[in-house]
Structure 1
């Protein structure tokens, strides 16, 4: 569930062309290092939000049901933008420059691979984990989610490491089609999160 939710949000297939553009002047070794750092930052960033996200909710007095609905709306919105991108958005994504000192963190890891949608997912999972009955269950659930984040980051690393082959194999139309498919699934995930939360709330 973690991987199935995070991969469409991270959508490394869309990041691949941008990655090639940003690293066009890099050597093969530097490009590989950038891909590794981007995946590592993604894992570190989302894991931190997973571990400390529930404390943020408590600090701001936000209920789990409210966050789950908000997360569902954000995921659905991101999916809608992926399914129906505007010409301006598509143009801007391919018009990135290499002025940043560390492109692995910005813009690759944040906001592309671990943006608001991914953050809302892991914080929602953290809030749900904190409702576990025993400490053993809580530790087990955390380990499962962290493993899912690690797998997602690893998949992103594979795609970025072979970005030139991925882009060449899929082509522009293939990447656009993949983006729309992932956007469609994200809309479904977002709607399911909202409906499931509303139904569980009204059932009480």
Structure 2
């Protein structure tokens, strides 16, 4: 697998998981919690997210084969889904694709433990992230390539954990406006990559 493909996989997963954009949401969900409680929730949420994403990464090819879905078709569908995620990021809004809906956030505020819902799912290991790891798995390749992509997932989740643990400092430096600006820039990048996924899928399906 080429360096370009690996770099593309890292960028897409990083943008979709959106470590910086999740910081203000995590701050809102843990308002009133102590630093130790926030740390415990962040670690548990990342651990559960890692389990979800790694399971889908490991069974990705088998799952697509069992469902009779070809790689080109999944790339087209994945590209469309990621493009919708990119639109949410450009317009700085949260939807069920990349975060919890309004009703889900209200339900989360009543929970003492938000590490499973909505932190692990859908904020971190949501539909966009799951689609991305399935696309990563669909590239195939040697065991070395799989290990590198496995490492990409671990690195992105590690950065996300650091972002959650440093939420207070991030909000002090960037604020809501700063995080939205970064989200918009990353959203533009993700939109272009998503379109490329669709183009590659169509090329593969029709042998162009």
Q: TM-score, normalised by structure 1?
A: 0.87
**Structure 1 segments unaligned to the other structure (5+ residues):** none
Mapping 1:51-66, distance limit 5 Å: 51-66=58-73
Compute the displacement of 1:86 (Å).
Answer: 5.6
Contact 2:26 2:167 in 1 (8 A): yes
Q: Deviations over 1:65-122 (max 9, x none)?
A: 11111111100111012112469999949x6443235311211121111111111111
* CA distance in structure 2 between the partners assigned to 1:182 and 1:14 by the alignment: 10
**Distance in 2 between the 1:100 and 1:192 partners?**
40
Displacement over 6 Å in runs of 4+: 87-91
Q: Which runs of 5+ in 2 are unaligned?
A: 1-6
State how 1:64-143 maps to structure 2 within 5 Å: 64-85=71-92, 92=102, 96=106, 97-129=108-140, 132=141, 137=142, 139-143=143-147
| TM superposition shift of 1:25 | 2.4
Moved more, 173-182 or 151-160: 173-182
CA distance 1:43–1:105, change in 2 (3 Å): same
Report the number of matched residues: 197
Partner Cα distance (2:121, 2:173) in 1: 26
In structure 1, C-alpha distance between the alignment counterparts of 2:161 and 2:59, rounded to whole Å? 25
TM norm structure 2:
0.86
